[in-house]
Amino acid sequence: MKELAAKRMRLPYRLDYDPSKKINVWWMTIASVLFALAICGIFIAANGMNPFPVYKKLLSGAFGSSFGLTETLVKSIPLLLCGLGVSIAYRISVWNIGAEGQFAAGAIAATSVTIYFPDLPIYLSIPLMIVFGIAAGGFWGLLTAIPRTYFQVNELITSLMLNYVALLALNYFVFGPWKDPKGFNFPGTPMFNEAQTLPVLGDTRLHLGLLFAIVVVLLYAFTIRYTRWGYELRLIGANAEAAKNAGIRISRHILIVMVISGGLAGLAGMSEVSGVTHRLMYGISPGYGYTAIIVAWLAKLNPIGLVVSSFLFGGLIVGGYSVQTLGLPSSISNMLQGAILFFLIASDTIGKFRLRRND
């Protein structure tokens, strides 16, 4: 009798969880963004404001004028470069969350050129700053890769801790030996001269770093899709054990990938100090390295997706400043970023459940 009752109560379908199932559904990404907007809208309404005018102001501030568009592009440059860096690492399941520190290391190294070689012409100073920035960022990435490769130390811990080391090193220089004696006690280095700054477009702040980002995106897309090395990265990401059995040296790929990942974040740091701030200063990054993680997740590591998501988050940063005129803090953009990441992770987890018929 009990068995008969159990059969009657048994549902015809069940949810099965398959953690090995990888999904790449774009509609889930869009749904994650919409859910994030809805949840943040509830918090905005709880503060006594209509969320629709707030979102309208955010969009118009970021995309509604030529000034807003160019500023959004300026913010998109470091996001795209850092996002490309972490995407390459994520391709082989190396979770680099140290782009913030690698960004700072690149900015410090690029600034050192202006401090110790102040009289170089532009055709020498800019290339040297690029090389120093990439090398420093790559070295900072290598500091994470070596413990992971040879001592099995979790890269999440080392890359996160190294962020604080790099940021504290930056503070040491701007408050200490590199501090501008004519800066009215402001924590920053002396302003760069014209030979040390990236060219800009007209009267805007849009600088040559945009070209760097575009070139790197194209190289990333070509490498992943059409080269043997890109195939090996995709194979490692899909099945590391199969890649190992095929004779691919995973440890070597981890070292190379982390150097490239850190180097791209270092290039972003160089572009920021040379193209935007024109000095190394306290708080130079509003969290580009951390936001780049969300950029990569939202893009599903896709080159075109990286361009779109970095532009979107660049707009969130710029639009966040615009909503201050409505009486809201600019940190609303950080709230949106966090909500988007939360729903992206949730959608990836939920997407691994499958509805199956009970037999």
The full 3-state SS of 97-156, as one line of letters, equals CCHHHHHHHHHHHHHHHHHHCCCCCHHHHHHHHHHHHHHHHHHHHHHHHHHHHHHCCCHH
Distance CA(2)–CA(338), nearest Å, equals 49
Q: What CATH number belongs to 18-349?
A: 1.10.3470
pLDDT in tens, 67-112: 999 999 999 999 999 999 999 999 999 999 999 999 999 999 999 9
* Residues with pLDDT less than 50, the chain: 2, 4, 6
pLDDT in tens, 125-168: 999 999 999 999 999 999 999 999 999 999 999 999 999 999 99
Instruction: Give the 3-state secondary structure of residue 188.
Output: strand
Q: CB neighbours of 189 closer than 8 A, spacing ≥ 6? A: 111, 114, 115, 173, 174, 178, 179, 180, 279, 280, 281
Distance CA(63)–CA(318), nearest Å, equals 9
Q: CB neighbours of 286 closer than 8 A, spacing ≥ 6? A: 317
Q: Is the pTM of this model over 0.85?
A: yes
Number of separate helices (H) and strands (E) present in the chain: 14, 2
Q: Rounded to 5 degrees, what are φ and ψ at 71?
A: -65, -35
Asked if residue 202 lies in contact with residue 137, where contact means CB atoms within 8 angstroms, the answer is no
Distance CA(307)–CA(295), nearest Å, equals 9
Axis-axis angle for helices 250-272, 99-116 (nearest 10): 60
Return the CA Rg of the chain. 23
Token pair 């194209």: residue: 218
